[in-house]
Amino acid sequence: MGNMTKIKEDLKHVYKQKKENEVRRGTTLFGPHRDDIAFSVNGLDVQTYGSQGQQRTTALSLKLAEIDLIYAEIGEYPILLLDDVLSELDDYRQSHLLETIQSRVQTFVTTTSIGGLHQNVLREARVFTVVHGAVERME
């Protein structure tokens, strides 16, 4: 039995096991829409044992994979919105993330500081500051 066939059979088995309980409760209890997905680092569950940086890196890796999947399906990258994710990453992870998406994906990033970012990452970026509600472009 191929790997995909086994996965399908395993899913069918779980769905059959949960069906009665789902009908009784009036909701689905299992499936991809429930975010029932686990990631591990060195064999340990990231949600339980991972540091905040490892958890954020895992979530961003998944997001980057989704972007590549969308590109493969429709031939265009989506616009990426990253709201204050940089504050939760060290300087290396910040720069690596931005270098990965640079010149590929139109991205809007909000952050409280760009001090730790390498200048080559900012070279192609347009940087705006917001001070007391006024937006200004940095040169």
For residue range 31-52, what is the model confidence (pLDDT) as tens digits? Answer: 777 766 789 888 999 989 988 8
pLDDT on residue 139: 75
Average of pLDDT values for 125-132?
88
Q: pLDDT, tens digit, for every residue of 59-78? A: 888 888 999 999 999 999 99
Chain mean position to CA 69 = 13
Domain range for residue 27?
1-37
Q: How far apart are CA 103 and CA 116, in angstroms?
A: 20
pLDDT tops 80 at residue 122: no
- Say whether both 20 and 50 belong to one domain: no
Confidence grade of residue 83 (pLDDT, cut at 50, 70, 90): confident
- Say whether both 103 and 80 belong to one domain: yes
DSSP 5: H
- Say whether both 73 and 127 belong to one domain: yes
What's the CATH number where 53 sits? Answer: 3.40.50.300
- Say whether both 72 and 118 belong to one domain: yes
Chain mean position to CA 135 = 28
- Say whether both 79 and 121 belong to one domain: yes
Share the mean pLDDT of the chain. 84
- Say whether both 97 and 67 belong to one domain: yes
